[in-house]
Structure 1
Amino acid sequence: MPRFTIARKADALAQTARGGWRALASNVTAVGWMAIGFAGVGLPLGLALRWIEVSVAGGASVVLLVTALPFLLGSNAFAVEFAVSADRVVAGEPAEGRIRVTNSSRSLQLSGRLDVPVGTTITRLPVPMLRGGAHVESPLEIPTSRRGVIDVGPVRSVRSDPLGLMARVREWPNVRRVYVHPPTVTVPSTMSGFIRDLEGSPTQNLVDSDISFHAIREYVPGDGQRHIHWKSTAKTGRLMVRQFEESRRARIAVLLGTNPLEFATPDEFELAVSVAGSLGTRAIRDGRDVSVLVSGSSRGIRKLSSTAARFLLDDLCTVDLDESASVLHELSTQTSRQLPDLSLVIAVCGSVLGFKQAARMRSTLPSDVAMLLVVCDESAAPGFKEINGTPILTVAVLDDLRALLSRRVE
């Protein structure tokens, strides 16, 4: 036989051996490597030194490794499908997933398990032996007791020996995201008692179309024909058009501080998040021009989505206490710089700073900007007061917000 043929076959055999070793090594767990260590080192060393205990441990490791190998035989022909009951739920509402495992082959598949990441935990679901084409379904509990974002998946199927020395793992990359929204309540339409005096009043800005008439001016190319003032045109012999004063439209900012120095307890912060969510979603559903801002890390500012109520609540799921975040009056200062055309600022704070915030925040806002402060204090009696012309609501539970605002509207 030619030498190059022998060399080529030897090379092919070596590649096959290396591939087999890599495949086997990838299926060995940490416990399995310990057993391999005892078998490869302990057994020869024990025999050489006539150390009975080490020899027995090494021999037992060899037996266990050989026994574990049959559990890796055969294909991992599972097909895994999973779904969740809802992508968005309110904290406290039930939510669950369903996982369906199907044996997509014609042969019998040995039992195994599924590892399903649910948020920061891993749920293990047993999979029994399945005949060809058979399937099994398992419920999956999703914890929704607290606000947050929960990623379900990717699912991993694991088939291993009883001692966990070796395991075959296959991963399905699909991930389902579940938003656990903060609880909210329905408040009166856009807090009418606080902004009705802001709507419709004329400003000093002149526009070509509005309600409040200002004066007549000469026509310039581009003016709409429907605003031509024909009586003045007839008198002057030149085209004249009406000019208007821009009517004021309430632009609202809802501010939420996230510095733990402002809140007595984590539950008080959760109440503040729910209050901000209730006010923001009401303004969005009323079609108002609203911005919801929270203090971000490193003294920054974060603007939450306000294009739709569900997107705002999605963003509120990700808001957490941050020791590096600015306190509320600093957030108010940044807001007045970034949004200079505000009409109303609604600030939501905790009980630690409470009423002390009112004067400091008022000084950061222009005099023509109205302000409402909502203090979340679980130990206080709900109520309404004014300090130096600034209305202040105190809420102990979320339902207090609806009651106080309804009373204000009346």
Structure 2
Amino acid sequence: MTPFTRTGAWAAIGAVVLYAAGVLLGYPALIGLAVGLTSALCCAAVAVSVKSRVSLRRTVSPLRVTVGQAALGRVEAHNPSRWRSPALTAVDRIGSIRIDLPVRSLSGGESRVVEYPVPTTRRGLLRLGPLTLLRVDAFGLLSRAQRQTDNALLWVHPRVHALRPLPVGIVLDYEGPVTENSRPGTVTFSSLREYAPGDDPRRIHWKSSARTGNLMVREHVDTTEPATTVVLDTRESVFGDEAFEHAVEVAASVASSAWTAARPVVLHVLAEDAAALADAGAHTDLDRLAAVSRCADRSAVDLVRLVEDTAPGGALVVVTGEDASAVLTRLAGQRRRFTTVVVAVIAPGACGVRRRPGLVVLSAPTAEETAAEWNRFVGGS
């Protein structure tokens, strides 16, 4: 069914009212106006009933950005017919935001590109689309939308703050992830990356390759190396919206500092839906942190259980919004399994470094202040 524009809806209502008034009051002029409006609506219906042959294709570059980094959407309109197309509107959506992109008339065989900025002011997994082609008649009475492409995803990663790497013990291999050279039973999956010449074809992850259109290979880490284990609390009861964003930035910064030092990182996120992430095409820990959200159905017991289920060795960093004594006591018990235990508490009004038996508590209201406290602690000042 062809939808009315706002003008078209008023025209249809006006035609009905004018016709009724003309009949009841005996004014032929009103009936004539009603017939005129009806004729205009019929002409509009004929104009938009013909399906446009113009095709649209959307690309987004880059597909992965950090908060605040520029991302550009490009819509290419192509007219494959021999005849000139009328002016059209390409309509894209970014979440709940509608983007209208005017496309001028295209001659036969002509293509034109329209660009628009994609907002990246907030961390998250942005869904773009569907992209539709909107055709409106010359009077602006009726419109017709033709769906062109499916949804696309833009991964907006959290900001990363410069942190000194946390000592985790003796690092056995500074070359980072290894596979063939590791002893049997010491290798575990770490992440996915694009295939490079020389990679073992047996490590190709076919499901992700089919989804992305590029060959993706599995990367592994040697679990005999001391790792930095990062656990992110996602409980809604301990984080407000802004505090949670700072917590995600802290988790990303801790992981990034270990990556920079070529040390293994193991990230655990409370209540994470691994299957949904895989279906969305998450490849890295930063992808996982881009998609993370707060959960309402988890407790402190779940957080402690998640920590206790992690593999031992190296350093443990727990990012949370709660510094309850009972929780800290349970986390301090992890000192027997890790060389260093740090709890980063992101909470309004909190600031400073506290040393408790078995762990260190860093408290700050923002990621920037947490980074400053972290660097002072690791630097020993």
Q: What's the TM-score once normalised by structure 2's chain length?
A: 0.70
* Contact 1:293/1:304 (8 A) holds in 2: no
Partner residue in 2 for 1:292: 267
Report the number of matched residues. Answer: 326
- The question of whether the paired residues in 2 share the 8 Å contact of 1:257 and 1:326 is answered with no
Name the CA distance, whole Å, in 1 between partners of 2:284 and 2:227: 19
Structure 1 residues 69-88: Cα deviation after superposition (integer angstroms, max 9, x where no partner): 35326551213233222111
Residue 95 in 1 paired to residue 71 in 2? yes
Which of 347, 367, 372 pairs up with 1:398?
Answer: 367
CA distance in 1, matches of 2:127, 2:277: 21
Aligned positions of 1:6-405 closer than 5 A: 26-29=1-4, 49-50=24-25, 55=31, 58-59=34-35, 61-69=37-45, 71-72=47-48, 75-161=51-137, 164-189=140-165, 191-192=166-167, 195-196=168-169, 249-263=225-239, 265-284=240-259, 286=261, 288=263, 290-296=265-271, 311-327=284-300, 330-336=302-308, 338-339=309-310, 341=312, 344-350=315-321, 353-354=322-323, 356=325, 359-362=328-331, 365=334, 367-369=336-338, 370-377=340-347, 379-381=349-351, 383-405=352-374
Q: Could you give the per-residue CA deviations for residues 226-274 of structure 1, whole angstroms, max 9, x where no partner exists?
A: xxxxxxxxxxxxxxxxxxxxx97535432222223213x4222111101
What residue ranges of structure 2 are gaps of 5+ in the alignment? Answer: 174-182, 185-222
Q: In the TM superposition, what is the alpha-carbon distance from 1:147 to its structure 2 partner?
A: 0.2
Structure whose alpha-carbon radius of gyration is higher: 1
What secondary structure sits across from 1:77 in the alignment? coil
SS at match of 1:108: coil
Change (3 A) 1:48 1:188: same
Alignment check: 8 A CA contact 2:90 2:133 kept? yes
State how far apart, in whole Å, the 2-side matches of 1:141 and 1:89 are: 13
Gaps of 5+ in 1: 1-25, 201-208, 211-246
Give the TM-score, by structure 1 length.
Answer: 0.66
SS of the residue aligned with 2:59? strand
Q: What do residues 79-120 of structure 1 show as CA deviations (whole Å, max 9, x unaligned)?
A: 323322211111011211122223222212111211111222
2: CA distance, partners of 1:87 / 1:54: 58
Answer 1 or 2: higher relative contact order, Cα 8 Å, separation at least 6. 2
SS at match of 2:298: coil
Task: Give the distance between the partners of 2:343 and 2:241, measured in 1 at CA.
Answer: 20
The Cα RMSD (Å) is: 3.9
Give 1:234's aligned residue: none
Give distance in 2, aligned partners of 1:121 and 1:111.
Answer: 23
1:319–1:93: structure 2 CA closer, same or farther, 3 Å change rule? same
The structure that is helix-richer by fraction is 1
1:185 partner SS:
coil
What secondary structure sits across from 2:355 in the alignment? strand
Matches of 1:303 and 1:335 in 2, distance apart?
22
CA–CA separation in structure 2 for the residues paired with 1:374 and 1:28:
54
Cα contact 2:342–2:360 (8 A) shared by 1: yes
